[in-house]
Structure 1
């Protein structure tokens, strides 16, 4: 029997781009790079307006340990440093105007031999490469790879689940970048001083499962061993298809049958979790001494003419993306991320950032067909049945309507909710439960700020 976790839902897959190869994306006339593309302290600019930079050159440095560097995704001129449009409003950013006929070749790098890198050197290199979690959270990857004093990891769990509907980014990375994945896994294993890695993949991706199993035992695995020597045990675990299996706690439960304690982290159960695209970035960038300047993104939905998987320069405005993908006249809504955990955007000036894994475009007819009229809770209990962490969303929703946010936190474990949206999806009364919970958290965080 295939492994999985308890509860969860089964939304339609809509993985229409699963067989679309990754293609490069052209440069926009102006690239906008927010200094805060990750959880933690924003990066600190190290360039000036008017300065010429080369593709791959560092343009911002980490401002703290929980922060990462940023690099120029194009050779060009720094045009502006200051507020620019972002998903959460205006945000400090660096804008670069490309040189005419600027090349996609990386013009700045510092290749290194990774054979003998120490754990500390790997952690520092990941931070300086600007690598963040590429599954959506954008948490600085090096922070995960630095094990706290008194803790240890016995398993590195690689997240190749990609359970969000429509998105096929990780699927294509697994099919096309197996060597980078294996090199990255070995580097991360060395960093966290652990021997075992398990790649979790849902069984609706049999080609990825087969390719990685073959790569581990074949020439790719042998090449990765030569690049990063070490006696490491790397395997692939097929999983039952279910949402939200890609969430860290759910994946740990499914693969290892371990439960992360409330308020705890994966390392509390001897586990480090990293997205498959993140370790691919580690394996690709560290040997080259390069920075994260582009990422693979799924562009899909009935509102565009040219769906596919594209390697897009970080900082490309959505307007340029939509123009290249063929935005249809009847497009009704653009969602950055997947339909379950993504956010609808209303400004095409917003740029692609390191954490963006997909763009889904719905037509006006599809948006109109979504019945968003909210009705009273009928106490059916479906939300309780599907909640992957066994909360009571119905009860929490009633408290939210009464603005009893402290009770939600203290009595109903609000802060354990990771906003997967399963409760909202299953609710027959169309109650936007996850939006209520998100609002409650924001209010509580505001009240706790001095």
Structure 2
């Protein structure tokens, strides 16, 4: 039986440990934090249910579905109403529904006639030749500058809290990048991909009655005594295996943690290794605000998922989710919960500790103006993530090469987490399952 040490009890580490156990390995999981789950945390406060990190998960079979079923959570899955498919984009200071059909696209004020014509001309644009280019450059070639400013920019900020001028198209949107390379256009790539996939499994947005925090809590319960929170034991490379101080020898080590923490951990366990590329990986800071308010004081219908703000709008927040409209039990009767995201790579200054009071006032002013809210919020809760989301910027391939090189030169070492393979919840779970399979084959 293999003994495997997992450092990091975020979703990737928990998923890896759970899968390893199912494959017959003995595991021990270590994390200096007091709670499992990393940024996935759900907190009850004054009748509200607050998601301090991600608010929803997209499920499409695979690892996430296997994990949910294996943890016994299938019966607790909840889905949002059909109206949650509706998204709003801020346009000239007011929320405008993103077009979800050809007719809505034709009538939408989000793009000018010229912008719409340029976007519709995507199949006729030349295929790109750059090995790596920014998200902004990629979509400007394919869709036009106006579409980048009005549609792509807010979409990217909603996923990565990042700057499309700095992010890598190849690594942030690998499927789209590959489609252009293979089919010559995104539209032809999409149509061709559908033919190859055949009957598609639809994405389903899900959560749980007590929030996404149920997922790491269930995983922690399943691991039992194998999970060691508040623990950061020293790691040492032995002649034939790995040694974890106080816990003995292990055949393999999985590290799933943010870039800066990973660099520090590697420096302590493997003195002398080159870590410059890992340390240089940027991470977006995000300040999350939860505002609770009486429904009667909100003018907007809140009939959708939320509002994203393009950078060109010059607003102090990235966007707002209509949290209580997505899932039941998020707010007391007669009240609504709004979750606001601020900072990111666009405006990291809003995430300075000393800026909290100013950030709060700016966030509420913006959101209350967009949604026509009267008065002040009844509930205000703030969460600051100094390193919320790693940025897959142009040149991200160098980081991946560095990680692969470290693994190759230290057999039995596996470096994972959301700094490779995607930042979404489903990506992290898939990464954890994949590394478990790699360890099992070792």
Q: TM-score, normalised by structure 2?
A: 0.24
Q: Which structure is richer in relative contact order (CA contacts within 8 A, separation 6 or more)?
A: 2
More helix by share: 2
